[in-house]
């Protein structure tokens, strides 16, 4: 049982809670998720089963897309609807044009200070534990990339935006900082992750669906193959000698005979320095990483 489940995490459940349920239903110990969603958030949560846990890291580093409702006029200490109100001011004077103009400050490469109510650790302690004890500490800003940020609905005091961003981007912080910039305060009212890498919410299954699928034995229908998260990389088919070398952990020089007249062409590394390797009968052999210093391909992960 190896692959990825695209689960639509419901509000009120932790990402670990989803993993625990899948582990219990499947009977497989190796289960993990890609990219934690806050309990109050919902949406796409890819869950790896068996060997699927070994490709999760490649999903964590992909871009994500969120649909966020930002309520103007109320700021909270958690930056979302669960927190204590710290600022309140009627946003009646804020126009859509002003809001759109403010969004420009959060597009492209930005610096964010992690919220106190976050899982970022300070001297080994998660910040949220310190915050619950009434302790506030200085946090270092972190770089994030916002590739797209646009208004999809405007119903004052709530603005709905769609955000496409890099990993580690705090949508709660964007909501809070927007409120500070506009002078009226704001918080994240709701958040839905609508895409994580190649997985979209339109194809995601609910917890009740996955429970029913395991109960009645048709869960395989919802499991994506391991290489479904690697399809943006190049692919190469290797012969038996290279297959054996890779299984033994040896680095190799990849080539093909497409040059004609027996001339062997060396495979050039792509920009991301990764390749998917398949056996001659079409099975995914592993992930190869190009070592610039040696000019050879190193098996990063082998699945057979």
**Over 241-265, what HEC string results?**
HHHHHHHCCCCECCEECCCCCCCCE
212 is catalytic: no
- Considering the candidates 2, 38, 80, 227, report the single residue annotated as catalytic: 38
DSSP label of 170: -
The answer to whether the beta carbons of residues 172 and 78 sit under 8 Å apart is yes
The answer to whether the beta carbons of residues 239 and 281 sit under 8 Å apart is no
CA distance 152 to 192: 14
How does DSSP assign 45-102, residue by residue? EEEEEGGGGGTHHHHHTS-EEEEEEEEETEEETTSBTTS-EEEE---TT--HHHHHHH
CA distance 12 to 40: 5
Closest CA to 203 of 221, 218, 184, 227: 221
> Which residue has tokens 């625990």?
20
CA distance 103 to 125: 33
Q: Which of the residues are catalytic?
A: 38
């Amino acid at each position: 049982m190896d692959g990825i489940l695209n689960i639509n995490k419901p509000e009120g459940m932790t990402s670990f809670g989803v993993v625990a349920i899948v582990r219990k239903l499947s009977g497989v110990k190796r289960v993990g998720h890609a990219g934690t969603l806050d309990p109050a958030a919902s949406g796409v949560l890819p869950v790896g089963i068996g060997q699927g846990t070994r490709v999760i890291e490649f999903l964590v580093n992909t871009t994500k897309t969120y649909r966020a409702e930002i309520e103007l006029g109320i700021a909270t200490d958690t930056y979302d609807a669960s927190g204590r109100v710290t600022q309140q001011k009627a946003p009646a004077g804020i126009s859509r044009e002003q809001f759109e103009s403010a969004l420009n400050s959060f597009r492209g490469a930005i610096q964010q200070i992690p919220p106190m109510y976050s899982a970022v650790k300070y001297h080994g302690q998660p910040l949220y534990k310190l915050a619950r004890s009434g302790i506030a500490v200085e946090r270092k800003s972190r770089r994030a990339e916002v590739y797209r940020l646009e208004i999809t609905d405007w119903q004052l005091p709530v603005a709905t935006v769609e955000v496409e961003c890099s990993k580690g981007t705090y949508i709660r912080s964007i909501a809070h900082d927007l409120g500070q910039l506009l002078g009226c305060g704001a918080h994240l009212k709701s958040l839905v992750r609508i895409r994580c890498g190649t997985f979209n919410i339109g194809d995601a299954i609910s917890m009740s669906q996955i429970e029913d699928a395991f109960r009645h034995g048709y869960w395989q229908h919802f499991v994506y193959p391991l290489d479904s998260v690697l399809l943006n990389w190049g692919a190469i088919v290797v012969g038996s000698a290279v297959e054996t070398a890779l299984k033994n952990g040896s680095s190799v020089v990849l080539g093909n005979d497409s040059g004609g007249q027996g001339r062997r062409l060396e495979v050039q590394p792509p920009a991301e320095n990764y390749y998917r390797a398949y056996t001659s009968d079409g099975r995914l052999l592993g992930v190869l990483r190009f070592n610039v210093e040696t000019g050879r391909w190193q098996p990063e992960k082998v699945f057979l």
